[in-house]
């Protein structure tokens, strides 16, 4: 029996052991980002729906939406071809009775950019994704922009962890998308592709809201979707994570009379009551690299706007 998503609770989380195999190249599903995403997925009315996950990672969400949200079928792919294979095997161990309802698209698939992926998107009701929102620190043009604002990269920021592509995207490659200017180029590219390929499909996307939810909602609207925040959590900013991108945005706007229109949102407390700009957050990190800083993660549902 599938769980009723309406009854989804921490109780449900406890009854099932969600411990997928997580090699170093996979995004850690214990991360609060994934927990927030799943809270949103539980509220996204997925019962009976066909869902496509872009960037499946370990496959933890595939198992969750089949088992806990009552989705009828799930498609999924990832830029890293190893991950979709991992997702299949994790689903077989986490929820064998649902394994037949997952149809992976194999190979390296960026967004939905293969014929096989597009064929599945044609049959999809809801596209879900939690994909990178920060440009590669080593991106040549991003580096030039950062240096023009005299902002330094954090020590070690250019070292690539095994799961590097879970966190960063090739910024210059997505420059044709206007919201690339604030780190949303990859996400906007997905919005446009889905809008074109499956105009009636909804989007459910997970965001780190360090640039504020307003501008993320603006991006949905500019691409033909009515945005609605369906889950939100204040999470700990990973110590050592480079925030120079956000500092650079603030610095570039200073003295332009537009600085108040985009102030990045960090917090010094876990309740999200004491806001800090990125510049203030960076000053605290410079004084103590281990300082605890927080930011919001939110799940935004986009309903296609029909004219």
Partner 1 sequence: MQVSNTIDCNGLSPAPTLLRIMQALVGRDDCGAPLNVLVGSDCNCDRLAASLGPLAGDVQLSHNIRQFASIN
Ligand X SMILES: C[S@@+](CC[C@H](N)C(=O)[O-])C[C@H]1O[C@@H](n2cnc3c(N)ncnc32)[C@H](O)[C@@H]1O
Which chain residues interact with partner 1 by CB under 8 A?
A: 140-141, 144-145, 148, 172, 175-176, 178-182, 215, 218, 222-223, 249, 252-253, 255-258, 261-262
Which of partner 1, ligand X, none has residue 65 at its interface (CB below 5 to 8 Å by kind)? none
Query: Any contact of residue 111 with ligand X (CB under 6 A)?
Result: yes
Q: How many residues in total does the chain contain?
A: 307
Which of ligand X, partner 1, none has residue 110 at its interface (CB below 5 to 8 Å by kind)? ligand X
Q: Which region among 10-18, 29-37, 86-94, 145-153 touches ligand X (by CB under 6 A)?
A: 29-37
- Angle at which helix 213-222 crosses helix 185-197, to 10 degrees, equals 30
Q: How far is the CB of 179 from partner 1 (least distance, A)?
A: 7
Enter the DSSP assignment of 237: P
Binding mask 161-200 for ligand X (x = CB under 6 A): ----xx--x----------------x--------------
CA distance 76 to 84: 7
Binding mask 74-103 for ligand X (x = CB under 6 A): ----xxx--x--------------------
Binding mask 117-146 for ligand X (x = CB under 6 A): -------------xxx--------------
Query: Any contact of residue 55 with ligand X (CB under 6 A)?
Result: yes
Q: Which is nearer to ligand X, 28 or 280 (CB)?
A: 28
Question: In the set 18, 34, 36, 124, which binds ligand X (CB under 6 A)?
Answer: 34
Question: In the set 3, 5, 8, 29, which binds ligand X (CB under 6 A)?
Answer: 29
CA distance 172 to 141: 7
Q: Tell me if 62 sits within 8 A of 89, measured CB to CB.
A: no
Give the residue from 201, 232, 224 showing the smallest Cα distance to 54.
201
- 61-98 b/e with 16+ CB inside 10 Å = b? bbbbbbbbbbbebbbbbbbbeebbebbbebbeebbeeb
CA distance 166 to 176: 22
Q: Tell me if 54 sits within 8 A of 190, measured CB to CB.
A: yes
Q: How many residues bind ligand X (CB under 6 A)?
A: 23
Enter the DSSP assignment of 2: P
CA distance 182 to 173: 14
Q: Which region among 10-18, 49-57, 66-74, 277-285 touches ligand X (by CB under 6 A)?
A: 49-57
Which of partner 1, ligand X, none has residue 131 at its interface (CB below 5 to 8 Å by kind)? ligand X
Which of partner 1, ligand X, none has residue 140 at its interface (CB below 5 to 8 Å by kind)? partner 1
- Angle at which helix 81-94 crosses helix 60-67, to 10 degrees, equals 40
Which of partner 1, ligand X, none has residue 252 at its interface (CB below 5 to 8 Å by kind)? partner 1
Which token pair is 282? 């960076």
Q: How many CA atoms lie within 13 A of 136 on its CB side?
A: 15
Q: Tell me if 56 sits within 8 A of 13, measured CB to CB.
A: no
CB atoms within 10 A of CB 51: 26
Q: Where on the chain is the footprint of ligand X (CB under 6 A)?
A: 27, 29, 34, 37, 54-57, 60-61, 78-80, 83, 110-111, 130-132, 165-166, 169, 186
């Amino acid at each position: 029996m599938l769980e009723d998503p309406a009854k989804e609770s921490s109780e449900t989380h406890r009854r099932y052991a969600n411990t997928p195999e997580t090699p170093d190249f996979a995004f850690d599903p214990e991360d609060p980002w994934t927990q927030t995403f799943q809270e949103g997925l539980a509220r996204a009315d997925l019962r009976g729906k066909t869902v496509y996950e872009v960037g499946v990672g370990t496959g933890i969400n595939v198992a969750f939406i089949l088992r806990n949200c009552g989705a009828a079928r799930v498609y999924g792919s990832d830029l890293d071809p190893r991950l979709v294979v991992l997702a299949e095997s994790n689903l077989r161990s986490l929820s064998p009775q649902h394994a037949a309802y997952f149809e992976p698209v194999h190979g390296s698939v960026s967004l939905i950019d293969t014929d096989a992926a597009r064929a599945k998107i044609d049959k999809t009701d809801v596209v879900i994704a939690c994909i990178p929102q920060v440009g590669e620190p080593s991106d040549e043009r991003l580096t030039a922009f950062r240096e023009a604002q005299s902002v330094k990269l954090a020590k070690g920021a250019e070292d690539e962890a095994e799961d590097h592509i879970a966190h960063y995207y090739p910024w210059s490659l997505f420059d044709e998308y206007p919201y690339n200017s604030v780190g949303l180029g990859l996400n906007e590219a997905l919005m446009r592709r889905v809008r074109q390929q499956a105009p009636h499909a909804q989007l459910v996307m997970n965001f780190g809201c360090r640039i504020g939810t307003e501008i993320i909602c603006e991006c949905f609207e500019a691409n033909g979707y009515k945005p609605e925040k369906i889950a939100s959590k204040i999470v700990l900013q990973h110590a050592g994570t480079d925030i120079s991108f956000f500092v650079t945005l603030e610095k570039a706007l200073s003295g332009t009379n537009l600085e108040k229109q985009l102030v990045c949102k960090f917090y010094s407390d876990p309740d999200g009551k004491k806001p800090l700009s990125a510049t203030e957050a960076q000053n605290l990190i410079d004084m103590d690299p281990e300082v605890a800083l927080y930011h919001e993660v939110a799940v935004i549902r986009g309903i296609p706007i029909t004219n």
